[in-house]
Structure 1
Amino acid sequence: MNIVFFSHPVFLGSISTQRYAKWLVDGMRERGHQVQLWIPEPQCFNIPGPANFKKWMGYIDQYILFPRQVKKLIKKQPKDTLYVLTDHSLGIWAPLIRDYNHIVHCHDFLAQFSAMGLIPENRNSWSGRKYQEMIRKGFLSAKNFISISEKTRDDLHILLGHRPAVSEMVYNGLVQSCKPSESPAEALSSLAAETGIELKNGYLLHVGGNQWNKNRKGVIEIYSKWRVKFTNQKPLLMIGPEPDDVIKKAHASSAYRDDIHFLVNKADSFVMLAYQAASAFLFPSIAEGFGWPIAEAMSSGTPVLTTDEAPMTEVAGGAALFIDRRPSDERKAEAWATDAAKVLEKLLSYSPEERSGLIAKGLKNVKRFDSNITIEKIEKIYLAAAGNAAKHVSLNLNSDVSA
């Protein structure tokens, strides 16, 4: 099968989406398929100028120059070629491939719903709303989709207003090498030596960026309430980018700010070590498309506390402790943090047997996210779509992986 993948341009710095595209490309090549990756080149973007100027130059590369190139390249491809948008946010390009065999991968529709004024925590500018409208108009013209969670698939159907010809759900596959440490004490010692932070009593961990949905502010709120109400003094490690002004303000207002450590732009190997040695992983996300860190933490043998809403509940299964979603009404946030702190203390107060039981449930749960199985399911959909028979094929994609 000849497959052409479309991905975000490298000059935008969309690391997670580029990683996902590479995973798909490598997976299909390993299965013997002919694979190409088409991405816009930074021709106008490389013209010197201020950031806002370069942003608009990047738009010219993506939405004027690149489509012209694609139209020429398509003419040279075999008729049965499958064209794959690795992210629905590339939807502006969907009209280029809608009349050919195609698939659109859907991750999360948070930007779409924000632009439609349906998410009070994230208001969009006029230009942002128009940009998302263009993306939506594009992917609405597609017919075949793969979503990374049931939540994402449900949201897709809401946006489309109908169920498309092909709408499959395939959970993400873990691509990082996550596994429990053979010596947790040694992992803890290594992390303490690398960071210079006193970790002898363990620590709490969060991994995520400054995006509104990642709820870094809420992590700090939970931690601060937990420290007020309980005697445990474990520090909080927050791995991700340099905190923005909102996070810095939340940090500065915490009485326990000296025990909250931002570990910026760490390598994957460091993140994996941090998962392995953590006393608990906090992931009170407001919204997600999937929730990679939940699966990564569980596969590392770390207990998880996360939000009691899809898709976090989908990913965590029955192998985590759950808290309510942080309210959009700031007046209710303090009570929310207090309640969440109680659940956190419950988790940290587990007996060794209870903790081991929860970890075992997590390790069993993440077998559903085996990368090889995920790629195999996606390949079946690709083969069906490339043969123009996708809607007539029973793919049996949702069978559980036995423990």
Structure 2
Amino acid sequence: MLVPGRVLVVGNYPDDEQESMLRFGAMLVDNLRAIGVEVDYVQPRPVFGRRAGTSPRLRKLAGYLDKFVIFPVVLWFVARRYRVVHITDHSNALYVEFAGARKTLVTCHDLFAVRGMLGDLDAARGGVSGRILQRWILRGLRRAARFTAVSDVTAHDLARLVAEPRVTMIPNALADAFVVSASAGAPAEPAGVPYFLHIGGNQFYKNRAGVVRLFNHLTQTAEFAGHRLVMAGKPPIGDFAGELAQSPVHDRIDVLITPDDATVHALYKGAQALLFISLTEGFGWPVIEAQALGCPVVTSDREPMRSVAGGAAVLVDPEDPVSATAAIVAARDIWPRLRLRGLANARRYYPAEIYPQYPAIYREIAGAYCP
């Protein structure tokens, strides 16, 4: 029996530790309920995962069983009762056929892995099993009824990969904790030892090695000769680890492994500026998080970072540390203004501005769906 008016939200497998996707799903559910949308939530559960022990290989295999064998069956039974199913992460588009293609909305964050599988993005090509999975994901995307995309860049990629996609651009929203902090206004210039901040994972496009190279150049200027760099996120690997080891100022670079939310907030508030010079992004959450906490932003003069920053950031070439350094030095005197402009831009991403855009899409899907 169908449950009229309710939406089934499909989240991510918790053992994959995809923090940003888990956060997106949790924020979506909480905020939809806050505006009166009746929502139920379901996600793959670690059944075999609980018994896999500590072996990475066994845990990966157990995760595959949980996600690709058990959960599709669970979802098929559960989703039959709903007129609208919202899959919160495009990487779970393989569930579309089990949820019911004609009533499924998929949120697309980025399509880098799919593009890598198609040979369109060499840095995201992946291995054999990864490419098989991305083909399955693309097949699911091509069957979904509707889409939301978190940026125009992602919407454009979706338009190229999916014939006539029914897509609405709805950007990511700030978490409530950032909204509360932003209401206090811009803080004064941070005291203590000055530092730049970078927050991000080890995906190729985060350009963490490039952040180290930029910091090397910044420390050669009179304005920033005494600064440190704090890099928060995953443990260093690959090119990033190599750049750290080779940096002439490596003793002034602090790496914080997966800091908690309170530490992240403190880092934003105490930083001279956020260095977020990604090569590309699906959205770029740290840009608006920093702005909401009064931290000046240095980001790439590329989309979607340029649009997300809303004219309230220093825009630089992420692959040219020399010109980027010159731009940062030239903008040093306007940082107090950037703090205020950043706060104003961050208001565009308050939950009250973002989540009310979803119900109209749900009504459209529910109205078109005839079981």
Q: Structure 2-normalised TM-score?
A: 0.91
Per-residue deviation, residues 306-333 of structure 1 (Å, max 9, x unmatched): 111111011012111111242xxxxxxx
Deviates more, 1:137-146 or 1:22-31: 22-31
Conserved 8 A contact 1:219-1:282: yes
- Give 1:8 shift: 1.0
Equivalent in the alignment of 1:64: 69
Q: 282, 286, 306: which is aligned to 1:289? A: 282
- How many percent of aligned residue pairs carry the same amino acid? 30
* Counterparts of 1:280 and 1:28, CA distance in 2: 33
Alignment of 1:172-211 (within 5 A): 172-178=172-178, 179=181, 184=187, 188=190, 199-200=192-193, 202-211=194-203
The correspondence for 1:371, drawn from 327, 351, 362, is 351
In 2, Cα distance between equivalents of 1:100 and 1:120 = 33
Secondary structure, counterpart of 2:50 in structure 1: coil
SS in 1 for 2:107: strand
**Displacement, 1:259?**
0.8
Aligned twin of 1:91: 93
Query: 2:253 is matched by which residue type in structure 1?
Result: I
User: Which residue number in structure 2 is paired with residue 341 of structure 1?
Assistant: 325
Alignment of 1:158-173 (within 5 A): 158-160=160-162, 162-164=163-165, 166-173=166-173
Amino acid at match of 1:167: V
Shift in Å at residue 158 of structure 1?
A: 0.7
SS across alignment from 1:177:
helix
Contact 1:83 1:100 in 2 (8 A): no
Deviation at 1:360, TM superposition (A): 2.1
- CA gap of 1:307–1:278, structure 2 versus 1, over 3 A, is same
d(CA) in 1 for partners of 2:101, 2:33: 25
Residue deviations 1:7-43, cap 9 Å, x none? 1111221221111111111122223333211112222
Distance, in Å, in 1 between the alignment partners of 2:96 and 2:354 is 24
Quote the residue 1:107 is aligned against. Answer: 109
**What's the CA shift for 1:355?**
2.5
In structure 1, how many angstroms separate the alpha carbons of the residues matched to 2:210 and 2:273? 16
Letter in 2 for 1:163: E
> What is the 5 A alignment of 1:326-337?
326=319, 336-337=320-321
Equivalent residue, structure 1, for 2:296: 303
Question: Structure 1 residues 183 and 387, CA, compared in 2 at 3 Å: closer, same or farther?
Answer: closer
SS at match of 1:302: coil
Give the secondary-structure state (helix, strand or coil) at the position aligned to 1:57: helix
User: Given residue 217 of structure 2, which amino acid in structure 1 is its aligned partner?
Assistant: K
CA contact (8 A) 1:102 1:386 kept: no
Question: How many Å separate the matches in 2 of 1:184 and 1:38?
Answer: 40
CA distance in structure 2 between the aligned counterparts of 1:341 and 1:228, rounded to whole angstroms = 10
Please give the per-residue CA displacement for 1:360-392, whole angstroms capped at 9, x wherever unaligned: 221222221111121111122222222229xxx
Distance 1:272 1:155 in 2: 32
More deviation, 99-108/82-91: 99-108
For residues 84-163 of structure 1, the aligned pairs below 5 Å read 84-160=86-162, 162-163=163-164
Partner residue, 1:194: none
Trace 1:209-228 onto structure 2 (pairs within 5 A): 209-228=201-220
Higher mean Cα deviation, 275-284 or 27-36?
Answer: 27-36
Partner secondary structure for residue 44 of structure 2: coil
Q: CA RMSD in A?
A: 2.0
Q: Report the Cα offset of residue 247 of structure 1.
A: 2.0
Q: Which residue of 2 aligns with 1:385?
A: 365
What SS does the aligned partner of 1:228 have? coil
Q: Which moved more, 1:128-137 or 1:23-32?
A: 23-32
Per-residue deviation, residues 31-78 of structure 1 (Å, max 9, x unmatched): 333321111222222333531232122112211221122222234x15
1:357 and 2:337 correspond: yes
Do the aligned partners of 1:147 and 1:169 also contact (CA within 8 Å) in 2? Answer: yes
Alignment gaps of 5+ in structure 1? 190-198, 327-335, 390-403
Matches of 1:57 and 1:110, distance apart in 2: 25
Matched, 1:13 2:28: no
TM-score normalised by the chain length of structure 1? 0.84
Distance in 1 separating the partners of 2:342 and 2:350? 14
**Equivalences for residues 250-329 of structure 1 within 5 A:** 250-326=243-319
| Counterparts of 2:103 and 2:285, CA distance in 1 | 29
SS at match of 1:276: helix
29, 36, 40: which one aligns with 1:32: 36
Q: Is the 8 A contact 2:186 2:293 kept in 1?
A: no
Once the two structures are TM-superposed, the CA of residue 163 in structure 1 deviates from its matched residue by 2.5
Distance in 2, matches of 1:385 and 1:148, equals 19
Runs of 4+ in structure 1 off by over 6 angstroms are: none
Asked whether the 8 Å contact 1:98–1:141 carries over to 2, the reply is: no
Specify whether residues 231 and 29 from structure 1 end up closer, same or farther in structure 2 by C-alpha distance, changes over 3 A only: closer
Residue segments in structure 2 that go unaligned for 5+ positions in a row: none
Task: Measure the CA separation in 2 of the matches of 1:170 and 1:13.
Answer: 24
